[in-house]
Amino acid sequence: MVAKKITHPTSKKKAVEPNTMMNRLSQKFNLLAVLVVALFVFQGYTFYRVKNIKTTGGAGAGKPAGESALSEKNLIAYADELGLNKKVFKQCLTDGSKTDAVAAESAEAASLGVQGTPGFFINGKFLGGAFPFENFKEIIDKELDGTSSTLCTDYSKTLQTYCADPATASFKPKPVNIDLGSAPSAGPANAKVTIVEYSDFECPFCARAFSTVKKIQETYPNDVRLVYKQLPLTQLHPDAQRAAEASLCAKDQGKFWELHDKMFQSQGA
CA-closest candidate to residue 148, choices 184, 124, 113: 124
pLDDT at 232 exceeding the cut of 80: yes
Q: Is the pLDDT of residue 174 over 60?
A: yes
Average pLDDT, the chain: 84
Residue 220 pLDDT exceeds 50: yes
CATH architecture of 72-265: 3-Layer(aba) Sandwich (3.40)
For residue range 192-214, list pLDDT tens digits in order. Answer: 999 999 999 999 999 999 999 99
Mean pLDDT of 231-239: 96
What is the enclosing helix (H) or strand (E) of 230?
Answer: strand 224-230
Band (45; pLDDT cuts 50, 70, 90): very low
- The pTM (predicted TM-score) of the whole model is 0.76
- With a pLDDT cut of 90, the percent of the chain lying above it is 72
pLDDT of 158 > 50? The answer is: yes
pLDDT band of residue 267 (cuts 50, 70, 90) is confident
Residue from 214, 268, 264 nearest 243 by CA: 264
3-state secondary structure of 125: strand
| Sequence-distant (≥ 6) Cβ neighbours of residue 65 within 8 angstroms | 54, 55, 57
Q: What are the strands of the beta sheet with 193-199, ordered from one edge? A: 171-172, 125-128, 119-122, 193-199, 224-230, 185-186
The whole-number average pLDDT for the span 19-45 is 50
* CA–CA dist 47, 52 (Å, integer): 8
